[in-house]
Amino acid sequence: MKIVKQDLKTGLLVAQAENLDDLWYLSQVIREGDLVKARTLRLVKAKDDKLRAEKGQKQAMTLSIKVEKADFDENANKLRILGTIAAGPGDLVALGDHHTLEVSEHDQVELFKECWTMADVKYLKDAEKAAKTSKVMICVIGDGEATVALVRDRGLHYVDTKENIGGKYAEGREDRKKEFYSKLLELLKEEIKKEGVQNVILAGPGFEKKNFFAYAKGRLNMQVIDTGNEGKAGVHEVLKSGALEKALGNARIAREARVVERLLMEISEDGLAAYGEEEVNEAVDIGAVEILLVLDKRLRENRTETEVLIDKAKQSGSEFHIINSQFEPGQKLEGLGGVAAVLRYKI
């Protein structure tokens, strides 16, 4: 995300979305009661067209909307901001009427908030970091099938490919395997070009990853690692292995996978962990929290209460992470009540 102007004391942020992840980040920051200003299209009718709905035409204009709801529509690749018109050309619109701003990649928006919370600021920092981070694709390959996952800050985008290449001694197996390799290579090259991917992590439990690496050598830039599983389970192994952090640096999805894995290890060993609202609140109150983990869904649904918890944790020097509910680490945190902590000491 490109931050064009930022003055959080007056509540102003001017930002330009550079990719779909940025639209997702904005959807996490914009909430009810905020003011959002952007270019938009609105149906404008002439005075004598009031009784004829089919009349009128859409005109481009700049409107300010008092937000009621903001949603990122991944299917349409748009951020939709619904609200009431707070400012605009008075001869064309009526204040208080409803309107939906549709924000796409490369659009610029002005956002005004009465108060920027720590969670809001963290999302902005993560968005700025993401702009400097390489894009990575994970390919977990098995015998005649591969699971391809594009790593995005808002989650994982999967592309599956399968071929029936027959048993070990089936006639024509080698030819079908080469055809499978060829199709997989073309799929990876197409996704790399479309998504601007810089790194491909090739993984899997057997020899197929090395066979495919040899086949694609010189045509793809790949890093090969071992996993015990194929499919999506293999993708999640890569997330937890540390290979992703080496490829991505300090990317959000890698940090989340690492910190949730540490929490689960502490829980399994009856170590330095707390989870659930009551335990975590107690730990925060006495300054025992090293790392606070909050599910993004919980933040949206219980914003005031959750922001108070984050502020208290931050005041005692705690690190905090807002965990994406769209992929496995977030789903595991949701199973723990949506809030958990790695502790400095046992309580």
Instruction: Fill in the amino acid letter for 68.
Output: E
pLDDT tens column, 149-201: 988 777 778 887 766 555 554 556 678 888 889 999 999 999 888 888 878 99
Is 22's pLDDT higher than 60? yes
Interhelix angle 252-268/118-131, nearest 10 degrees: 120
Residue 83 phi, psi dihedral angles, 5° rounding:
-175, -165
pLDDT tens column, 198-227: 789 999 998 899 999 999 988 888 889 999
Pairing of strands 136-141, 108-112: unpaired
Q: What is the pLDDT of residue 250?
A: 47
The number of folded domains in the chain is: 3
94 and 181 co-located in one domain = no
199 and 213 co-located in one domain = yes
**Of 221, 248, 275, which one is at a domain's C-terminal end?**
248
Distance of alpha carbon 216 from alpha carbon 228, whole angstroms: 22
Q: What is the pLDDT of residue 134?
A: 66
115 and 10 co-located in one domain = yes
Q: Which two tokens stand for residue 231?
A: 């499919």
User: Could you tell me the CATH number of the domain that includes residue 113?
Assistant: 2.30.30.870
| Radius of gyration for the alpha carbons in the chain, expressed in angstroms and rounded | 24
179 and 223 co-located in one domain = yes
Is 306's pLDDT higher than 60? yes
Mean pLDDT value across residues 323-327: 84
Residue 222 phi, psi dihedral angles, 5° rounding:
-130, 150
224 and 107 co-located in one domain = no
180 and 113 co-located in one domain = no
279 and 210 co-located in one domain = no
220 and 162 co-located in one domain = yes
- CB–CB of 117/132 below 8 Å? no
Q: What is the pLDDT of residue 165?
A: 53
Q: What is the pLDDT of residue 138?
A: 92
Q: What is the pLDDT of residue 136?
A: 85
pLDDT tens column, 94-128: 999 999 999 998 999 999 999 898 889 888 888 88
- CB–CB of 130/1 below 8 Å? yes
- DSSP reduced 3-state for 205: coil
Q: Provide the CB-side half-sphere exposure for 212 (13 A, CA).
A: 33
Q: What is the DSSP letter of 242?
A: S
Is 85's pLDDT higher than 90? yes
- DSSP reduced 3-state for 7: strand
Q: What is the pLDDT of residue 86?
A: 96
216 and 150 co-located in one domain = yes
**pLDDT averaged over every residue in the chain:** 87
Q: Which two tokens stand for residue 211?
A: 């066979």
**Of 96, 131, 166, which one is at a domain's C-terminal end?**
131
Instruction: Fill in the amino acid letter for 152.
Output: R
Is 246's pLDDT higher than 80? no
**Of 64, 99, 131, which one is at a domain's C-terminal end?**
131
Phi-psi region at 318: left, alpha or beta (left = phi > 0; alpha = psi -120 to 50): beta
Is 53's pLDDT higher than 60? no
Best mean pLDDT range from 11-20, 33-42, 172-181, 233-242: 33-42
Best mean pLDDT range from 65-69, 113-117, 248-252, 318-322: 65-69
Instruction: Fill in the amino acid letter for 172.
Output: G
Q: What is the DSSP letter of 272?
A: S
Express the helix, strand and coil content of the chain in percent, nearest 5 each: 35, 35, 30
- CB–CB of 296/330 below 8 Å? yes
DSSP 122-169: HHHHHHHHHHTSPPEEEEEE-SSEEEEEEEETTEEEEEEEE-----TT
186 and 292 co-located in one domain = no
Is 241's pLDDT higher than 80? no
Tell which wins on pLDDT, 1 or 99: 99
Per the structure, the complete domain to which residue 313 belongs is given by 252-343
pLDDT tens column, 184-196: 999 999 988 888 8
22 and 118 co-located in one domain = yes
User: Could you tell me the CATH number of the domain that includes residue 158?
Assistant: 3.30.420.60
- CB–CB of 324/28 below 8 Å? no
Q: What percent of the chain has pLDDT over 70?
A: 88
Q: What is the pLDDT of residue 170?
A: 55
Q: Which two tokens stand for residue 39?
A: 């270019």
Distance of alpha carbon 255 from alpha carbon 269, whole angstroms: 21
Q: Provide the CB-side half-sphere exposure for 267 (13 A, CA).
A: 15
184 and 277 co-located in one domain = no
Q: What is the pLDDT of residue 45?
A: 73
State which H helix or E strand residue 84 sits in. strand 78-87
Q: What is the pLDDT of residue 123?
A: 87
